[in-house]
């Protein structure tokens, strides 16, 4: 009893508030519907428990549900890990390479970023995920990725049960006319008769669950491949954007340098082990990181400071070339744009051809930035901020960018 009470602390109970959010409610609702309907369909109408195959199938369904929920709640309640309040590097001279967070009253450790939703600086922040109502970062990156893997696998199994249930129950009930197809739902055609007949309500519920399972398989499966891609490169979504802006800065100023991402260990297996371990606990403390040979511990933070000082790089200017309605998952912008829509509570912004955008970060098929309402390119003016598809905009020509930079700045650089 004492050990149980030591686990349940006030802080842990406060974390339960994360469940009171539309993201976890929808996610847990989909898991509950798919797993419950799969068990009901298999036991009552497709694969009864008195058969060996039915028993194994039922155990597998329970196993999928338990593993999915285990990793989901781990990702939610363990959290990403935060930079300690008031943290500063052991060597005071290293603070010159780091950004200072006024909210946390601490220096931002390498690879950490401040999350406005969590109101803390997050260790190795990848993104704030509304489905777990928490950030994905250093401590929960493995659990989050395993959830993204197990959820589609479990849904594929459930979808197979749904399809086979409808097939076996409706096979003898279909009658084809010259121009019609009729389904006789009045009587069960299974011998022995099931305890509950497969009626119209069961058919509708199974069909609905099948749609959820297939949609989850596609959407979550795409997220899994995106996460694995950056894990094998030992990057985060934010760091990929920083690297892209670094290349843009070097190209614009025609500098004789090459930006090398310092945390890519040069081997996919070594990068993989930075996130996934047998103990389930990631390597290190999230404040200091192993780096590849020839790089410096603060190469990435130094690059961030350069970009922060360079207004042109900090906000890359784009011109809108195609209208965008502001839809969350636009069907008319391409299949990749549709399935890689950012999983965030941040809004989308409506675009019209000819408008200008200052993009501050982005993904492969999406960008995030401010729409300039008065076309003045002056900081501090009223703007509309949000996500928009990358294929709706194009970078402004270099001659326009040169006009924006102060006279002689490019030469001085």
Task: Please determine, for residue 24, whether its predicted confidence score (pLDDT) is greater than 90.
Answer: yes
Q: Check whether residue 58 and residue 157 sit in a common domain.
A: yes
Other C-beta atoms within 10 Å of 405: how many?
15
- Residue 348 or residue 190, greater confidence: 348
CB 391 within 8 A of CB 322: yes
Q: Do 22 and 148 fall within a single domain?
A: yes
* Residue 352 and residue 215 in one domain: no
Q: Check residue 194 and report its DSSP letter.
A: P
* Pair (334, 220) in one structural domain: no
pLDDT given for residue 228 in this prediction: 94
pLDDT of residue 410: 42
Cα dist from 118 to 76, 106, 133, 148, whole Å: 12, 15, 9, 22
* DSSP string over 15-35: HGGGGSSHHHHHHHHHHHHHH
Residue 392 near residue 321, CB atoms below 8 Å: yes
Picking from 234, 254, 220, the residue whose alpha carbon sits closest to that of residue 150 is 220
Give the integer Cα–Cα distance in Å for 366 and 359.
10
- Tell me whether residue 28 is in a domain: yes
Other beta carbons less than 10 A from residue 245's beta carbon: 24
- Residues 175 and 44 grouped into a single domain: yes
Q: With CA atoms as reference, report the closest residue to 226 among 121, 359, 334, 127.
A: 127
Question: What is the dihedral angle through the alpha carbons of 262, 263, 265, 268, rounded to the nearest 10 degrees?
Answer: -130
Lowest average pLDDT, out of 108-117, 157-166, 181-190, goes to: 181-190
Q: What is the mean pLDDT of the chain?
A: 83
Angstrom distance (rounded) from CA 238 to CA 228? 15
Q: What is the pLDDT of residue 377?
A: 46
53 in any annotated domain: yes
The predicted pLDDT at position 192 comes to 56
CA dihedral 167, 172, 177, 181 (to 10 degrees): -40
pLDDT, residue 340, reads 83
Judge whether 40 lies within some domain.
Answer: yes
- Residue 329 to residue 359: CA distance in whole angstroms: 19
Q: Which pair of tokens denotes residue 48? A: 């009864």
The pTM for the full model equals 0.79
Q: What is the pLDDT of residue 48?
A: 83
Predicted confidence (pLDDT) at residue 35 exceeds the cutoff of 60: yes
pLDDT at 44: 87
d(CA 86, CA 104): 7
Structure tokens at 352: 């019209």
**DSSP at 365:** S
Count of domains in the chain? 2
- Mark whether 45 and 179 lie in a shared domain: yes
Respond yes or no: is residue 101 known to be catalytic.
no
Residue 328: alpha-carbon gap to chain centroid = 14
| Strands 366-372 vs 383-389: parallel, antiparallel or unpaired | antiparallel
- Residue 246's nearest CA partner among 236, 259, 256, 237 is 259
Is 223 in the same domain as 331? no
Whether 207 and 334 map to the same domain: the answer is no
Which residue did the predictor score with more confidence, 168 or 31? 31
Q: Using one digit for the tens of pLDDT, what is the confidence trace for 38-89? A: 999 998 888 888 888 889 999 999 999 999 999 999 999 999 999 999 999 9
- Answer yes or no: do 143 and 46 share one domain: yes
| Domain identity same for 69 and 201 | yes
Choose, from 34, 101, 129, 135, the residue flagged as catalytic.
Answer: 129
Position 168 in a domain: yes
Q: Which pLDDT band, with edges at 50, 70 and 90, does 188 fall under? A: very low
pLDDT of residue 403 exceeding 70: no
User: For residue 244, is it within any domain?
Assistant: no
In a domain, 272, yes or no: no
Residue 169 maps to a domain: yes
Q: State the Rg of the chain over Cα.
A: 26
Domain containing residue 329: CATH number: 2.30.30.40
**Domain extent for 362:** 315-374+382-395
Q: Is residue 342 part of a domain?
A: yes
Q: 346 pLDDT band (50/70/90 cuts)?
A: confident
Is residue 311 classed exposed, middle or buried when 0-12, 13-18 and 19+ CB atoms within 10 A define those classes? middle
Q: Give the model's pLDDT for residue 14.
A: 66
Report whether pLDDT(307) > 70.
Answer: yes
């Amino acid at each position: 009893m004492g050990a149980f009470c030591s686990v349940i602390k006030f802080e842990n109970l406060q974390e339960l508030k994360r469940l009171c959010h539309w993201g976890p409610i929808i996610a847990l609702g989909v898991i509950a519907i798919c797993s419950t309907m799969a068990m009901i369909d298999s036991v009552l109408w497709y694969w009864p428990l008195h058969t060996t195959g039915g028993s194994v199938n039922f155990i597998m369904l329970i196993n999928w549900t338990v593993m999915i929920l285990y990793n989901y709640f781990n990702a939610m309640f363990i959290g990403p890990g935060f930079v300690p309040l008031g943290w500063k590097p052991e060597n005071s001279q290293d603070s010159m390479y780091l950004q200072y967070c006024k909210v946390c009253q601490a220096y931002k450790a390498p690879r950490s970023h401040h999350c406005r939703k969590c109101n803390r600086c997050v260790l190795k922040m990848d993104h704030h995920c509304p489905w777990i109502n928490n950030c994905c970062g250093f401590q929960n990156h493995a659990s989050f990725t395993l959830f993204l893997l197990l959820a589609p696998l479990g849904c594929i199994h459930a979808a197979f049960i749904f399809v086979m249930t409808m097939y076996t129950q409706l096979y003898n009930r279909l009658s084809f006319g010259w121009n019609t197809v009729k389904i006789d739902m009045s009587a069960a055609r299974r011998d022995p008769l099931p305890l509950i007949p497969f009626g119209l309500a069961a058919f509708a519920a199974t069909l609905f669950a099948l749609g959820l399972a297939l949609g989850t398989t596609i959407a979550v499966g795409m997220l899994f491949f995106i996460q694995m891609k950056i894990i094998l490169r030992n990057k985060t979504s934010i760091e990929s954007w920083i690297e892209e802006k670094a290349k843009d800065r070097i190209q614009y100023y025609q500098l004789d340098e090459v930006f090398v991402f310092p945390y890519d260990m040069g081997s996919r297996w070594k990068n993989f082990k930075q996130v996934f371990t047998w103990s389930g606990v990631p390597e290190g403390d999230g404040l200091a990181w192993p780096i590849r040979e020839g790089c410096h511990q603060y190469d990435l933070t130094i690059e961030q400071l350069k970009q922060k000082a360079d207004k042109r790089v900090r906000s890359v200017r784009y011109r809108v070339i195609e209208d965008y309605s502001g839809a969350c998952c636009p069907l008319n912008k391409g299949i990749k744009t549709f399935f890689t829509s950012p999983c965030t509570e941040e809004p989308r912004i409506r675009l019209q051809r000819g408008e200008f955008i200052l993009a501050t970060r982005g993904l492969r098929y999406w960008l995030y930035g401010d729409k300039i309402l008065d076309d003045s390119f002056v900081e501090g003016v009223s703007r509309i901020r949000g996500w928009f598809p990358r294929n709706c905009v194009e970078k402004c020509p270099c001659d326009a960018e040169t006009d924006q930079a102060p006279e002689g700045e490019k030469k001085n650089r």
